[in-house]
Structure 1
Amino acid sequence: MSDPELARFFLSLVLLLVGALGGGHMFERLRLPRVIGEIAGGIALGPSGLGLVSSEAHEWLFAGFPAQGALLSAFYWLGLVLLMFTAGFKMQAESAAGSGRIIPALVVGALAIPFALGYAGAPLFADAQAGDGFAFKLVMGIAVGVTSIPVISRIFLDLGLMDSSFARNVIGAATIQDLILWSLLAIATAVQRGDAADAAGIARVIAVNLAFVLASLFLAPAAARAIRRRAFGKFTEAPLTGYTMLLCLLFVAAASLLHVNVVFAALLAGLVMTRFPSRHLAAVKQHIADISIWFFVPIYFALVGLRLDLAHQFDGTLTLLFIVTSTAIKLASCTVAARTAGAGWARAFDYGVAMNTRGGPGIVLASVAYAAGIINERFFTALVTASILTSFATGLWLRWRLAQNPDVFDELARPSAAGMHPAARPVPAIATLPKSDGLDRRRALADGGTPTR
């Protein structure tokens, strides 16, 4: 690579990061999901923004020499892997025990029913299929059922609801749901690669993925503990950060060799990290999360926006059909499921809206399915658009509910720990806010003000 090419590549990275961080900051100031602003920054630099003003400038910046696309793609995948890695080791910290009846009901309402209907309804979206039919049906089922833990968690924190049983139920159900859906996505990508051409092949892929999960969650932590005691026991936070990153890359490399989806492998690597409650590792995980969330992940989301060509890839009919049908299915199934578990109709509908938040995982699904050749460009755009709009809708709905009645979730907030079943007591590791702070935020919203973060 020549010096001018290297300079152009670094300039493209600078612009992507500035666009992502600037867009994220702007959306955060508007009390909107940061991830949407990061994508918007990429859209502004892509064919839907800069490309419309000057296609030559866009080509010069982001496709100026043959290797530039591959280099940007490497950052794209590294950002995606780190996003899933950090999501994995935050899952246990952000999820907590909730109602014993609500969580299983939400898993059925948000996962089983939407996945089954999405799988069965895949022929309605046959024009969006680009690869294997079975893989496409799996992706359709996942697309209808997916829920974003990061976005809904951020909304709960902003509204002061993270310490409520409502939030714990939603995040607990979404955690179980997403683990299952990422497993199914791993199978879908294997089928698309041709590793599962018949029933025996599908069974073999399922067996490999199951073995990888079991080895990851049961054998890997024990091996890592033994190695750490013998070789790394006296290491400080700085080298442990490097070895933790090494663990993530080892999982991803092993998954590639075994034809297991690398995104799923990164998530499992993160889950392995939750098995180590060490005080030093808590700081290490925070360091990795900081560099990932503020550098690699924004570049990933900006590159997602950069790939969107709304002028040529946006299909209004396809996008509207998917958003309407998937939202109707998710809302109805989650609402009915929560109602059968004992929630009132209004609260059950709140659960349905919250579980319909697609956010980052919906965009990750679109990225993986498109890169694997399962869906076409138009459906990739539709999935990203659906993820953005449903995240908007959830934030607006919950803010409106609090504006109507600042105490609407109070009957769910902070049940007495002394009278709770031990399994339902709040986990100390959760990032919670004092109740008074949450109430102040809610009342400020009801009065039309802007609560501080």
Structure 2
Amino acid sequence: MAVEGGGGDLLPVVMLLGAAVVAVPLFKRLGLGSVLGYLAAGLAIGPFGLGWFSNPQTILHTAELDVVMFLFIIGLEMRPSHLWGLRRAIFGLGSLQAVVCGTLLTLVGVAFGFSWTVSFVSAMGFVLTSTAIVMQLLGERGDVAAPRGQKIVAVLLFEDLLIVPLLAVVAFLAPHAAGEAAPAGSRWATVGLAAGAVGVLVAAGLWLLNPLFRVLANAKAREVMTAAALLVVLGAALLMQLGGLSMAMGAFLAGVLLSESTFRHQLEADVEPFRGLLLGLFFLGVGMSLDLAVVARNWVLIVSGVLSLMLVKALCIYGVARLARSSHADALDRAVLMAQGGEFAFVLFAAALAAGVIDPVVNANMTAIVVLSMALTPLTVLLHKRFASPAEVSMEGVEAVSERSANVLIIGFGRVGQIASQGVLARGATLTIIDNDTQMIRDAQAYGFKVYYGDGSREDVLHAAGAQHACAIVVCIDDKAAATHIAKLAQAACPQARVLVRAFDREHALELANVGADYFVRETFESSMLLGREALLATGAREDEADEIMERVRRRDAERFDLEVAGGLFAGRALILGNIAKRNAQQAEAQAPAQ
């Protein structure tokens, strides 16, 4: 039952959205990820599943705009200075990976009995990794901005740019009639047209776009800003397409040119919802395009092709990464993420089919191989995450905590820890800071803070950090269970220190009271009290009246808290009183010789 007939019919849209809404949460619930959910939904409703749609290429063609918008957003994050800093990764690592993988994958095609030409086109199509899948998986685990994520992004950028010369190579490989040759003038005209398109885009980005957005911002028309953002993305893509270049390349260049603009974050926010919607549409289209009839007829060739191409590409990527001095864990992670073919393979295969370089059977088989490789990637990533040994923490530029002496020990140097340290630093007290986030430690060094690597939930680390000599241990981490454990450990191991803890909420504060923490404050309580006071002043209350009302609120909250502790919501009131009595006895004993 094909449903995409009527122009104003909403049934196809409802079916697409319904399939996504059902499949994606289900697959995420099973731990399989959203990408595999979209692919499975597309396969289920496509022409080779339930048959609700008969022409997935229409959806794929529309959803290709996802790649365009995605690269625009990537371009917004790539300031020219940052892009220049990645030049070695983009053109060095990217070109090395493309050459090595392309060569070995071509040999795989020859081993399967195909000609050199067909093997080369098929191999280079498989070299072009799926930007949509890899960036989605990187985004889900928060690695896009991490160093290893940036290297992957650099390689993806190079491969996206590689589609342009590859299309030219396909045109060169096209069989011509006897005596027919492409005139040299037309080739130079093509090159000139492409260079002119790039020049026009760069000029517009440098001199037109910022004044345009400034005028629109002054007009206070939010919907026009959104329309202008889409106009920039699609206009840049169209300009590059007219110049014979990649649409994605145009969007990326437009993003780079606007990366230094004051409107960068607004543009990203305007484009992101469209990109996310098209991303799901793209994966649905990929799932629909998997021709199960072709797979059934040539299953031996297709299955062996998927396994051999993915394995060889993964080994190539791992070898290149290790050659570029990446760690074993990072190289293996990159190999698992990038072992599939990508969306630009469909573009390359379509061009090769139109030029007569490959026949329809090869095109159908290679399309099925690429789609299956894309569908298998989330599963291989899941298996790698589940069975691979944990990656070693990179200690480059980070000093582990050693035997130290401290008046105050701060555990956790995030938002709360940074603010809590200011008063101690201003007084000139000896301060030791530990954290287990190596990237944060490196970032803190840029601002003059010396932060040591250490796990505050371990007693030996606390002693090495000087907790046994500290007058205060300030626990500022955002993990409730870990903060409670550290408070309990510090109470037992360092009785001379006051244990001051950041509480997440009221329930967490009750837990901390139960383990005997000396002082704890809910992370939103004081800020909420200040906001409430300002709200009172806004209603016309006097300063003294506002202070009196907020003091009553604070007192009632403290009374309720004491009642909750005493009322048995958390057992252990006797333990709290015992800790207080023990603390008083220790203080009296310490003061006795002085008297």
Q: Normalising by structure 2, what TM-score? A: 0.55
Work out which structure has the larger RCO, using CA pairs closer than 8 Å and 6 or more positions apart in sequence: 1
CA distance in 1, matches of 2:395, 2:386: 17
Specify the alignment match of 2:199 in structure 1. Answer: 215
The 1:243/1:117 distance shift into structure 2, 3 A limit, reads same
CA distance in 2, matches of 1:16, 1:239: 29
Q: Residue deviations 1:358-404, cap 9 Å, x none?
A: 3xxx3412432454435522221111001221342134213433xx3
Specify the alignment match of 1:179 in structure 2. Answer: 160
Contact 1:322 1:382 in 2 (8 A): yes
Q: Residue deviations 1:102-150, cap 9 Å, x none?
A: 77764245222112333565555677x9xxx96x566424333233444
Q: Residue deviations 1:295-339, cap 9 Å, x none?
A: x33233323322322134453233233333323332333333333
CA distance in 2, matches of 1:270, 1:206: 21
Alignment of 1:337-376 (within 5 A): 337-345=320-328, 347-356=330-339, 358=340, 362-372=341-351, 373=353, 376=363
Which protein has the bigger strand share?
2
Q: Which amino acid aligns with 1:36?
A: L
Specify the alignment match of 2:30 in structure 1. Answer: 30
CA distance in 2, matches of 1:400, 1:94: 34
CA distance in 1, matches of 2:181, 2:20: 40
Specify the alignment match of 1:423 in structure 2. Answer: none
Q: Which consecutive residues of structure 1, in runs of 5 or more, have no partner in the other structure?
A: 51-57, 64-68, 421-434, 441-453
Could you tell which deviates more after superposition, 140-149 or 189-198? 189-198
Specify the alignment match of 1:333 in structure 2. Answer: 316
Specify the alignment match of 2:369 in structure 1. Answer: 382
CA distance in 2, matches of 1:158, 1:113: 29
Contact 1:216 1:269 in 2 (8 A): no
- Check if 1:268 corresponds to 2:255: no
Specify the alignment match of 1:42 in structure 2. Answer: 42
- Check if 1:250 corresponds to 2:235: yes
| SS of the residue 1:239 aligns to | helix
Q: Normalising by structure 1, what TM-score? A: 0.69
Could you tell which deviates more after superposition, 203-212 or 92-101? 92-101
Alignment of 1:131-142 (within 5 A): 139-142=121-124
Q: Which consecutive residues of structure 2, in runs of 5 or more, have no partner in the other structure?
A: 397-437, 447-476, 483-595
Alignment of 1:282-321 (within 5 A): 282-294=265-277, 296-314=278-296, 315-321=298-304
Aligned-residue CA RMSD in angstroms?
4.3
Which of 209, 218, 226 is the matching residue for 1:225? Answer: 209
CA distance in 2, matches of 1:199, 1:119: 30
Q: Which amino acid aligns with 1:25?
A: P
Q: Which amino acid aligns with 1:293?
A: G
CA distance in 2, matches of 1:8, 1:335: 50
**Matched residue count:** 390
Could you tell which deviates more after superposition, 110-119 or 7-16? 7-16
Q: Residue deviations 1:64-96, cap 9 Å, x none?
A: xxxxx5xx7555322212332223322553897
Contact 1:120 1:137 in 2 (8 A): yes
Contact 2:201 2:236 in 1 (8 A): no
The 1:224/1:144 distance shift into structure 2, 3 A limit, reads same
CA distance in 1, matches of 2:443, 2:91: 22
Specify the alignment match of 2:533 in structure 1. Answer: none
Larger Rg: 2
Tell me by how many angstroms 1:268 deviates: 1.8
CA distance in 1, matches of 2:250, 2:305: 30
CA distance in 2, matches of 1:161, 1:230: 33
The 1:336/1:30 distance shift into structure 2, 3 A limit, reads same
Tell me by how many angstroms 1:38 deviates: 1.3
CA distance in 2, matches of 1:416, 1:368: 42
Contact 1:103 1:172 in 2 (8 A): yes
Contact 1:109 1:330 in 2 (8 A): no
